[in-house]
Structure 1
Amino acid sequence: MAENNADSNVSILKEIAELLNEGTDLDRVLSEVLRRLLHITGLETGWIFLIDGQVEYQLAAKSKLPPALSQNDFGPMCEGGCWCVDRYQDGRLNKATNIFECKRLEDAINNKTGDTNGLTHHATVPLRAGDEKFGVMNVGSPHKTHFTQEELALLEAVAFQIGTAIKRIKLAQQEQELALAAERNRLARDLHDSVNQLLFSLSLTARAGIEMAGTRELKDTFSYIQDLAQEAQGEMRALIWQLRPRGLENGIICALAGYAEMLDLQLDTKVTGVASLPGKVEEALWRIGQEALANCKKHAGTNMVGFSLDTTSDQVEMKIQDEGCGFNFYREKELPSLGLKSMQTRASSLGGMVDIKSKHGEGTLITVRIPI
């Protein structure tokens, strides 16, 4: 009998490993593995929290949650604290544990906020790979208040497989981001070494043509060509900045100050709070700030721009303001340009927002808030 159980556990681990090794989309992988684990073990309900540091947790996967936990778009699972997360964060949860009474379920029962379908307890197991921890997996069934040591050992083995897969997927994502940055740098170098030099040569040739031309009409033509070449050079320098932001390694403030200087804008900078921003947040602020400063250069009719960056423990706020010509902006209408839409999209992808205030003749204020 014990041998049969051992064979069954090996089969389960093999099937889970195959699922984990095939996937590259973390959310999809976790959902599918959790669903499959519950099916082959005969358990009914499960959920996975990914936990970042000591503050944030995310409901990354769930299966057959009772109404008490799934109501209001899974609101009870996405807010407030619970015992398993608390124990994970303070270091007391180091292995599969038998058994946790669930605070979320207990609150639902006491407050009569929904049906728990007989689910009152769950086993909890941390997701880890070596010394790295990524979150917790909880599983249970109606009226089940005890897991055997064999069941806990199986859950712990599966959790280790999941933790290893999470680490692999995160490393793959980092490699993709590094590859993208390297490709941007290569493209920026190519543009600088080829197209930018050609435009510079064209500008010099046009200047020589102006000096050699024998008629006013021909001089004007060469002058027009020179102006176009110089304007194209300016656009090319801005594009190279966007691809390879010099100074971003020294922080978002240095990068945007350098970009403003390149655009011949005078930046009045105010910074409050000190924090090391996550790479994705810093890059998003850089791209949004680029777009906002470029709009100031093209449309505001002024070279004076106010810039502020305020960082707290849970949020960064960036403001870019000019006292230029402005435009009539209405929140209820669609954003008037692709650039403004891209700013909103970048912020939204990180759970943030972009607020735009502008009126014709009264300048423009762009406020960006992103959680950290």
Structure 2
Amino acid sequence: MVPEQHSDVVLLKEIAELLNEETNLERMLNGAIDKLLQNSNFETAWIFFIDENGKHQLVAEAHLPDALAERECRHLKKGGCWCVKRYHDGDLEKASNIIACQRIENAKAANGKIGSISHHATVPLQSGQEKFGLLNIAAADTVRFSKDELALLESVAFQIGSAIKRIVLVKQEQELALVKERNRLARDLHDSVNQLLFSVTLTARGGIEMAEDDAVKSTFRDIQHLSQEALNEMRALIWQLRPKGLESGLLDAIRSYGEMLGLSMDTKVAGVIQLPSRTEETLFRIAQEALNNIRKHADVSSAQLYVTVTSTDVLMVIKDEGRGFAQGHGMIPSIGIQSIRDRAQAEGGTADWSSGIGKGTEILVRIPY
């Protein structure tokens, strides 16, 4: 018994070292379960992150049998199961043997190549009172794991939960630092370049009044027009760095940004908007890009905003009745559309659009939360 205890201690030490050194969440989780499987009787493992609505996400897996691994782990990614339900209901507090696994049964029925795996054990990943998801492990010809094996599993899960919390806190700190830097840049631009451009605009206006020669007047008008355009661009850039008004709500922020660009906004909402701050900022940035495109290319002074919120995702539609564009004709810069699509995909969502010459443009964004 002593050598086995020593082996568990060494394993926990090696896992702790890996978790402390790694800063990438995905690599950390996969590395931890790989090391667990290499130095224990466990043969396969997978990790679910589970949100407050009970929606699970497969974030790590190792040494899965063919039936569970086929078609990008579809049996692990889709559908429900007892362990996820127990976790969401608050009935799963420690490592437990799962009597029957619906996912394993479904995989076996669909594929058959499950080997000798029929059951698994599960343990919640948490740090203090904050829970993140589940660690599931299985082994061939094993219906129940021993108390010692479950105790080892709990120790590993505790280490992983603490490491997840550390990475989450580091990420939050980095995001806070990024916000502070954006605010600093916005202040600097407002206090320096923005004021200089405003001064150029006033000077050009004075030049128009003072000049007697028509050619000189025309030159001053061009300077005034260009400096005013640059001033508008600068104000839009400052808004993008520091979205004023977002603290008052997503719709107010988008409406204010549109009005700053000279666009009147017609807004309609379905559902209650209570979104995570990250989702709100993503939608706001997408709306900024779309409204910038309308101001520059649509040749209209108004736009429509529609937001529909369900229990799982939010749909945002931004529409104008402007000139529209045909695919490949460059009426809307591809970089703008690509930016919208990239932001949506970064949050697991989608972005699409429809347009035609003289028919306006409609951008549709769907993001889960």
Same fold (TM over 0.5): yes
Structure 2: distance between partners of 1:34 and 1:209: 72
Aligned residue for 1:52?
Answer: 51
The Cα shift of 1:305 comes to 1.2
Structure 1: distance between partners of 2:266 and 2:221: 35
Aligned residue for 1:87?
Answer: 86
Structure 2: distance between partners of 1:352 and 1:306: 21
Amino acid at match of 1:45: T
Structure 2: distance between partners of 1:226 and 1:134: 56
The Cα shift of 1:265 comes to 0.8
Structure 1: distance between partners of 2:265 and 2:140: 62
Aligned residue for 2:278?
Answer: 280
1:358 to 317, 331, 355: 355
Q: Deviations over 1:272-318 (max 9, x none)?
A: 11031112211111111111111111111111211111111111111
- Which SS does the other structure have where 1:328 is aligned? coil
Structure 2: distance between partners of 1:269 and 1:43: 55
Structure 2: distance between partners of 1:233 and 1:299: 18
Percent identity of paired positions between Structure 1 and Structure 2: 54
- TM-score of the pair, normalised by structure 1: 0.95
Structure 1: distance between partners of 2:63 and 2:283: 39
Structure 2: distance between partners of 1:224 and 1:106: 74
Structure 1: distance between partners of 2:187 and 2:223: 25
Q: After the TM superposition, which residues 192-231 of structure 1 pair with which residues of structure 2 at under 5 Å, given as runs? A: 192-231=190-229
User: Are the equivalent residues in 2 in contact too, given 1:329–1:357 (CA < 8 A)?
Assistant: no
Aligned residue for 1:103?
Answer: 102
The Cα shift of 1:86 comes to 1.4
Aligned residue for 1:247?
Answer: 245
Aligned residue for 1:118?
Answer: 116
1:347 to 336, 341, 344: 344
User: Are the equivalent residues in 2 in contact too, given 1:99–1:124 (CA < 8 A)?
Assistant: yes
Gaps of 5+ in 2: none
Structure 2: distance between partners of 1:91 and 1:47: 20
The Cα shift of 1:7 comes to 2.1
Aligned residue for 1:312?
Answer: 310
The Cα shift of 1:181 comes to 1.0
Structure 2: distance between partners of 1:20 and 1:248: 36
Structure 2: distance between partners of 1:180 and 1:163: 26
User: Are the equivalent residues in 1 in contact too, given 2:75–2:106 (CA < 8 A)?
Assistant: no
Structure 1: distance between partners of 2:71 and 2:350: 23
The Cα shift of 1:169 comes to 0.7
Q: After the TM superposition, which residues 154-165 of structure 1 pair with which residues of structure 2 at under 5 Å, given as runs? A: 154-165=152-163
Amino acid at match of 2:359: E
Q: Deviations over 1:21-68 (max 9, x none)?
A: 111111111001000110011321111111111321111111111111
**Distance 1:176-1:100 versus aligned 2 partners, 3 A rule:** farther
The Cα shift of 1:264 comes to 1.1
- Which SS does the other structure have where 1:41 is aligned? coil
User: Are the equivalent residues in 2 in contact too, given 1:207–1:223 (CA < 8 A)?
Assistant: yes
Q: Deviations over 1:64-114 (max 9, x none)?
A: 1111111111101101111111111111111111344322112333x2522
Aligned residue for 2:267?
Answer: 269
- The yes-or-no answer on 1:174 pairing with 2:165 is no
Two-structure CA RMSD over aligned residues (Å): 1.7
1:147 to 121, 145, 148: 145
Aligned residue for 1:133?
Answer: 131
The Cα shift of 1:226 comes to 2.0
- Which SS does the other structure have where 2:114 is aligned? coil
The Cα shift of 1:216 comes to 2.7
Structure 2: distance between partners of 1:151 and 1:45: 14
The Cα shift of 1:221 comes to 2.2
Amino acid at match of 2:61: K
**Distance 1:360-1:47 versus aligned 2 partners, 3 A rule:** same
Structure 1: distance between partners of 2:35 and 2:99: 22
How many residues align? The count is: 367
Aligned residue for 1:370?
Answer: 367
Structure 1: distance between partners of 2:217 and 2:53: 69
User: Are the equivalent residues in 1 in contact too, given 2:126–2:133 (CA < 8 A)?
Assistant: yes
The Cα shift of 1:213 comes to 3.4
Gaps of 5+ in 1: none
- Which SS does the other structure have where 1:200 is aligned? helix
